[in-house]
Structure 1
Amino acid sequence: MEKGKIKVTVEDIFPVIKKFLYSDNEIFIRELVSNATDAILKLKTLINLGKFNKKIDDLIIEIVIDKENKILKIIDNGIGMTKKEVKKYINQIAFSGAEEFLRKYKDKNNEYIIGHFGLGFYSSFMVSDKVEIISKSYKDYEDAIHWICDGTTNFSIKNIDNPKSGSGTEIILHINDSSKEFLEENKIKELLIKYCKFMPIPIKLGEREVNNPYPIWGKNPINVKDEEYINFYKELYPMQIADPLFWIHLNIDHPFKLTGVLFFPKIKNKIEIQRDKIQLYKNKVYVTDNLEGIVPDFLNLLKGVIDSPDIPLNVSRSYLQSDSSVKQISGYITRKVAEKLENMCKNNREDFEKNWEDIKIIIEYGMISDSNFYSKAKKFAFFIYSSNR
């Protein structure tokens, strides 16, 4: 067995991790499942390139809870790691990434930071007294390895016989006493649905898959039926009884990449505190439903999903408001909403008038708060006002 010490410049990094993200410690599940997803996607790439020819029945991520022994496991059958790779990516790169993240943000107010992305593997120490990694590389000639760290900067690593038939990685979390909630299946299921619901690899908890790897926002709208949009709306917002009035499918590759679906809900004149908001994803990983600075205020009454790799994360919301890519994204969303409403008014006037009482609050709010929207909305809004005189 080889032992070593992780070199750090952020003093006592593990207590800092726990203290800094105490209120957001649940993000460890997002970070670890994201890592597992990446490992499987890398193996799929090798398969597609013809560089890995072994038969694999199912590429899948499994979450296993051992409540009696206070253990939570995240298991994938992806590309796996060699001993050399574990030393590089866990002891050096992943750790330095966590260290850099904390150095940059530990003195800032959490609520102004979006997502807390970048902590990666080391987020597991927010909820664990000890973490183990068992991994077998896809390379046949490499031994499986076993890495252990007890929440200090000390670690051990050794070669072992492969405990499984193929490649992959098993992260074993020894859950600490203050984080026992993460040994409850319902809690883990809740977090998987919140953060990982649309990740592109099947995720299994117990005997059931808990995610939808093929959300409609990634499909060509020509191939999506109305019924699929309505079902997706109810998947996003199970407490919504009424169907959405209509929707907008977003898809752009240049000058930024963005996909998504925005729904117009039944609003009438009652504005309630919004529980079901627009959700922001990055590459199908949930980030936040607080889109201040990304979506214009008047469109916060809409519901749905926006997925973009080009929205900067781990930045202050004041920074977002001045970021050029975010301004472009905000402008694009505003334009697409205006175009949808204008086309409805022009080509399906009966439906437009029928829905007016539900949508007018969005239109009126937009006209008084957004000059770009006003210039487009006046064409169809004034038609309604003049018709009602």
Structure 2
Amino acid sequence: MRKWAVPSVLLLLCLLSLISDQGQKLHAKAEDDSDSLLDPPKVEEKLGAVPNGLSTDSDVVKRESESISRKTLRNTAEKFEFQAEVSRLMDIIINSLYSNKDIFLRELISNASDALDKIRFLSLTDKEVLGEGDNAKLDIQIKLDKEKKILSIRDRGIGMTKEDLIKNLGTIAKSGTSAFVEKMQTSGDLNLIGQFGVGFYSVYLVADYVEVISKHNEDKQYVWESKADGAFAISEDTWNEPLGRGTEIRLHLREEAGEYLEESKLKDLVKKYSEFINFPIYLWASKEVDVEVPADEDESSDEAESSSSDDGESEKSEDEDAEDKPKTKTIKETTYEWELLNDVKAIWLRNPKEVTEEEYTKFYHSLAKDFGDEKPLAWSHFTAEGDVEFKAVLFVPPKAPHDLYESYYNANKANLRLYVRRVFISDEFDELLPKYLNFLMGLVDSDTLPLNVSREMLQQHSSLKTIKKKLIRKALDMIRKIADEDPDEANDKDKKDVENSSDDEKKGQYAKFWNEFGKSIKLGIIEDSVNRNRLAKLLRFETTKSDGKLTSLDQYISRMKSGQKDIFYITGPNKEQLEKSPFLERLKKKGYEVIYFTDPVDEYLMQYLMDYGDQKFQNVSKEGLKMGKDSKAKELKESFKDLTKWWKSALASENVDDVKNQQPFG
């Protein structure tokens, strides 16, 4: 036994030595791998590089550092829970059967454009906020990584701080969520998501994991990430390419969303939804080009033999010359370059005669963030010249915003975008239109207003009053035109003269407008004494003779009885109840037409609209009703004059203020 002990020990020692050496090698390799992960990856080309003068190749698709392929939140990140309203909203989006998932790209491009607008506005008073080089070039860039199924959208906008990321991407106003959920329950149309300020979350229609990398001038670069599972994480970004400034959003697409990795699909979506974005949108697009490369030796010899057999000895000298030249061949090679997707000139700078109806409709949709099938009811595109010069485009939407009258006196935001010399200033500028016209969409681009001033100083600028005055006049003319071109609005004798009266799309347009925005016209009469008469021409009501249709005051007057001097009306909660009112019996029997006032604001309106032309308004339910040349009624009143006087004196001690001779009905 003893003679086997030594070899066994030696064998054991040898095995331990081999294991130790292998372990050291593995440990060393692990350390090398760890160091390589900590080092920032080499980036062959920045995502934000300028399209002009680039020297790139196909490997650029693998730019920016490795995203987390396993789609799990980073262990070092600070974790947060979504606000309850956000989680509710995301559940609706993720579980939605909504077929038009394309809207996510529209929303991200719109958000990028807003971020670029903000930094450009700040640069008007502080040139240094833009920085130099690439950062000073304001554009939106889209890239695809088909291998990793990542779609990236990058802007050089204002960027977000850590607090901005928490606030903007983790919480939303409860009112916005509630309104969106209510709209979804009634219409099921996710297409309207951008109108409620929650458009970012549409990314989860196509992605199951999202990274938002952002750099603000006043903070470090951070990464926001979420799998839409009720939580998100934020960490300081020490591994991705420095953005300089701005935001990059990376969508890790779902398996069923592979179509959004196709360049043709993205080009079509930008053309459809974002053609009129006021910043260039670029796509890192592939392109096939012809390239001369050295020919293989076998190919060269084959060509030489073929040439020799075909041409014989007479071509020998030429072949010898050809041998001195390098042999090449032409092949197709795929290269990548930035392709501009939106080259349409700003619509308001163009001649209105050159802009098509389709272009106006698409431009309206981009402004309103409403990409349904409905066209705006009307638009006005004009240039104002003189002491104050500006260009403007105004639209009447097909429908009223969901909260148009709920916060009428508290809301300050108008739907008008203000530009100064093509530079966006603000879309929260409520001094350009009065409140009662805040349903209009559009923009104003002024050459007169100063650029380098604060918004507060701009509000006090003298030119603003002139711009506002002209905008109101154009807006009211645009609304009046809807009625003028509507066959249902014309009197019978004038219907044949109405322009485009045969166009079915025009029919009933003003009724649509009135149903949506009629209250705004009434509020305008109350608030705008200067334009009260113009607004009164736009009023519409149902009457005892209108057969359910709307009637204008001019139409009412054209049907007044001979000798009738006043416009008769009656107020009440609804038409059905008013039709049963005893106050109407005598008037209807005598053939008088009475207007139904059923809107709560109507009685208040009558305190401001005392008359219309030569006619005054009379409430038929009030005492002292006069019906023109009613001699019988006058005689009856005169015959009871003494009796009325006696009752008044007899009841004076009974705390009676007055005694009236009320005319009998019938």
Offset at residue 77 of structure 1 (A): 0.5
Equivalence for 1:164: 242
Aligned to 2:374: 290
| 2:154 aligned counterpart, secondary structure | strand
TM-score (norm 1): 0.62
Q: What pairs up with 1:96-135 in 2 under 5 angstroms?
A: 99-110=177-188, 117-118=195-196, 119-135=198-214
Q: Which has the larger radius of gyration?
A: 2
Superposed displacement of residue 364, structure 1: 11
SS for the counterpart of 1:93 is coil
Q: Where in structure 2 are there 5+ consecutive unaligned residues?
A: 1-76, 285-337, 379-392, 405-435, 442-474, 486-496, 512-549, 555-666
> How does 1:62-141 map onto structure 2 within 5 Å?
62-93=141-172, 99-110=177-188, 117-118=195-196, 119-139=198-218
Number of residue pairs the alignment of both structures matches: 296
One-letter amino acid of the counterpart of residue 261, structure 2: L
**Shift of residue 180 of structure 1?**
1.9
Query: Partner letter of residue 70 of structure 1?
Result: K
Q: Does structure 1 retain, via aligned residues, the 8 Å contact 2:85–2:171?
A: no
| Structure-2 residue corresponding to 1:233 | 356
SS in 2 for 1:200: coil
CA contact (8 A) 1:20 1:106 kept: no
**1-structure distance, mates of 2:505, 2:268:** 37
Secondary structure class of the residue paired with 2:99: helix
Give the aligned residue type for 1:155.
F
Q: Which whole-Å CA distance do the structure 1 matches of 2:158 and 2:398 have between them?
A: 27
Question: Is 2:220 aligned against 1:143?
Answer: yes
Deviation sequence 1:335-368 (CA, Å, 0-9, x none):
447889xxxxxxxxxxxxxxx9x95633996599
The code of the aligned residue for 2:280 comes to P
Q: 2:364 aligns with which of 274, 280, 287?
A: 280
RMSD of Structure 2 on Structure 1 (CA): 4.3
Provide Cα deviations, 1:147-200, integer angstroms capped at 9, x if missing partner.
110121121111123623520000111111222222222222211111111011
1:268-322 residue CA offsets vs partner (Å, 9 max, x unmatched): xxxxxxxxx787335375633313xx528xxxxxxxx975699644689xxxxxx
**Distance (whole Å) between structure 2 residues aligned to residue 290 and residue 5 of structure 1:** 38
Counterpart contact for 1:145–1:160, Cα < 8 Å:
yes
Query: What pairs up with 1:208-227 in 2 under 5 angstroms?
Result: 208-212=339-343, 214-216=345-347, 218-219=348-349, 224-225=350-351
Q: 1:187 to 1:129 in 2, by over 3 A?
A: same
Q: Is the partner of 1:192 in helix, strand or coil?
A: helix
Does residue 1:192 correspond to 2:281, yes or no?
Answer: no
Kindly tell me: are residues 111 and 35 of structure 1, through their superposed partners in 2, closer, same or farther at Cα, counting changes over 3 Å? closer
Partner of 2:502: 361
Q: Find the aligned partners of 1:192 and 1:153 in 2 and give their Cα distance.
A: 31
Deviation at 1:102, TM superposition (A): 4.4
2:483–2:510 CA contact under 8 A, matched in 1: no
Distance 2:395 2:483 in 1: 20
SS in 2 for 1:78: coil
In structure 2, the partner of 1:4 is 80
| SS of the residue 1:75 aligns to | strand
Seen in structure 2, the aligned counterparts of structure 1 residues 157 and 65 have a Cα distance that, compared at 3 Å, is same
Cα displacement (A) at 1:36:
0.6
CA distance in 1, matches of 2:235, 2:262: 31
CA offsets per residue over residues 14-55 of structure 1, 9 Å max, x none?
Answer: 332133462232211121111111111110011101162522
The answer (yes or no) to whether the contact 1:75–1:169 under 8 Å persists in 2 is yes
Query: Percent identity at matched positions?
Result: 29
Query: Closer, same or farther in 2 for the Cα pair 1:339/1:63, shift >3 Å?
Result: same
**Which residue of structure 1 aligns with residue 639 of structure 2?**
none
Equivalent residue of 1:15, what SS? helix
Q: Which amino acid aligns with 2:212?
A: I
Q: SS where residue 222 of structure 2 aligns?
A: strand
Whole-angstrom distance in 2 between the partners of 1:306 and 1:39: 24
The equivalent residue for 1:321 is none
Instruction: Give 1:2 deviation, angstroms.
Output: 0.9
**Superposed displacement of residue 99, structure 1:** 3.8
Which of 145, 150, 153 is 2:230 aligned to? 153
| Counterpart mapping for 1:295-374 below 5 A | 295=377, 307=395, 312-313=400-401, 332-333=477-478, 335-336=480-481, 361-362=502-503, 366=507
Structure-2 change in CA distance of 1:214 and 1:106 (3 Å): same
Segment drifting more, 152-161 vs 279-288: 279-288
The match for 2:118 among 26, 39, 42 is 42
Task: Indicate the residue corresponding to 1:14 in structure 2.
Answer: 90
Residue-by-residue CA offset, 1:225-257 (whole Å, 9 max, x unaligned): 57xx43x439x57xxxxxxxxxxxxxxxxxxxx
Q: Which amino acid aligns with 1:47?
A: S
Aligned to 1:271: none
Paired position in structure 1 for 2:106: 30
Report if aligned partners of 1:81, 1:136 keep a CA contact under 8 Å in 2. yes
Q: Distance in 2 between matches of 1:20 and 1:367?
A: 35
Q: Which amino acid letter does the alignment assign opposite residue 362 of structure 1?
A: D
Task: Tell me how far apart the structure 1 counterparts of residues 216 and 369 of structure 2 sit (CA, whole Å).
Answer: 25
The 8 Å contact of residues 281 and 306 in structure 1, kept in 2 or not, is answered as: no
Residue aligned with 1:362, SS: coil
Change (3 A) 1:279 1:100: same
AA aligned to 2:104 is: F
> Matched residue of 2:229: which SS?
coil
3-state secondary structure, aligned to 2:110: helix
Matches of 2:136 and 2:159, distance apart in 1: 17
- Taking the aligned partners of 2:181 and 2:509, their CA distance within structure 1 comes to 42
Q: CA distance change for structure 1 residues 199 and 6 in 2, over 3 Å: closer, same or farther?
A: same
Gaps of 5+ in 1: 238-260, 262-276, 297-304, 317-323, 341-355, 376-389
Q: Report if aligned partners of 1:279, 1:306 keep a CA contact under 8 Å in 2.
A: no
Aligned-partner Cα distance in 2 for 1:327–1:157: 39
Higher relative contact order (CA 8 A, sep 6+): 1
8 Å CA contact 1:132–1:146 kept in 2: the answer is yes
Alignment CA distance shift 1:327-1:35 (3 Å): closer
Aligned twin of 2:291: none
